[in-house]
Amino acid sequence: MPGSRRSQRQRAVSELRAQGRYGPELRDVLPGFVGLGLAVAGPVLALAWLHRSLGIGGLVLGVVLLAGGTMLGLRWHRVAARRRGGVYTSAELAVLDDHGLAAAAERMLRRDGWHVIAMPDEGRPRLYARDRSGRQLDVGFRPKDEAASEDEPTGPAPLREAGRPGVDNLIRVVVSKGSYSRTDVLWASRQGGVHLIDGRQLQEWGAGASLDSLGLSDTRSG
């Protein structure tokens, strides 16, 4: 009976959808087709309008503008894809604020195979990460303008805050776009399990180097 055949077909379609083997319906792909049509028809209509309004010169102008816009769009897409993949130039890193730097570090960690969770701490950006070997990172960030003074005996407060002791078995990493003073380095060396990433190392990390190649130790905080 027709009703039975229709019911059987509906059940078969439902089973295929549940298994993820049934293709998309028209309503699923229609927006994409409409967008593609507009993307193709829009420039053609614009060129036709320029040709009618300005003649050959308008057509040439439209082609030049279209080519320039396409080149800019492709370049922006490549840059965005590179950043999403965790690769940054020195100039891009230099203009990031604290939260932007944390987002870049999260992408760089994911690029290197770390599983990352963003867990801000009282407004300060902070990341927790784990790799396949079970190492765990507690990543804090020190603004570039919060530098240490050489006569400060216990390390600058921002550095102590960014690299304060946390859960056992965490490697604490402090990232800064600036440099660390001798006081910073001495303070970190006395803590155990604190790894400092300065501006130069940050640029290397952003260019594709891994934290391990930058001297990350698996020493645990004690």
Give the pLDDT mean for 173-177.
Answer: 92
Beta bridge partners of 87: none
202's CB contacts (< 8 A; 6+ apart) are 93, 175, 176, 177
Residue 150 has pLDDT above 90, yes or no: no
Rg, C-alpha atoms of the chain: 27
Order of strands across the sheet with 115-118? 115-118, 126-130, 136-142, 170-176, 194-197
Partners of 117 in the beta sheet?
A: 128
Q: 73-97 pLDDT, tens per residue?
A: 787 888 888 889 999 999 999 999 9
What is residue 37's predicted lDDT score, i.e. its pLDDT?
A: 65
Residue 221 has pLDDT above 60, yes or no: no
Kindly state the DSSP code that residue 124 receives in the 8-state scheme: B
* Cβ contact 135:171 at 8 Å: yes
Task: Report how far residue 106's alpha carbon sits from residue 120's, in angstroms, rounded to the nearest whole number.
Answer: 12
- 115-118 and 136-142: which strand pairing? unpaired
Statement: residue 154 has pLDDT above 60: no
Residues 6+ away with beta carbon under 8 Å from 135: 171, 218
**How many C-beta neighbours within 10 Å does residue 130 have?**
15
pTM for the full model?
0.63
Residue 136: closest CA among 156, 109, 111, 162: 109
CA atoms within 13 A on the CB side of 200: 3
For residue 128, pLDDT beyond 70: yes
pLDDT of 12 reads 65
What number of CA atoms fall less than 13 Å from residue 73's CA on the CB side?
6
- Cα–Cα distance, 121 to 111 (Å, whole number): 24
Q: What is the pLDDT of residue 32?
A: 62
Picking from 43, 68, 47, 44, the residue whose alpha carbon sits closest to that of residue 59 is 47
Helices 98-111 & 199-207 angle (0-180, nearest 10):
50
At 39, the amino acid letter reads A
Look at residue 149 in the predicted model and tell me its pLDDT. Answer: 43
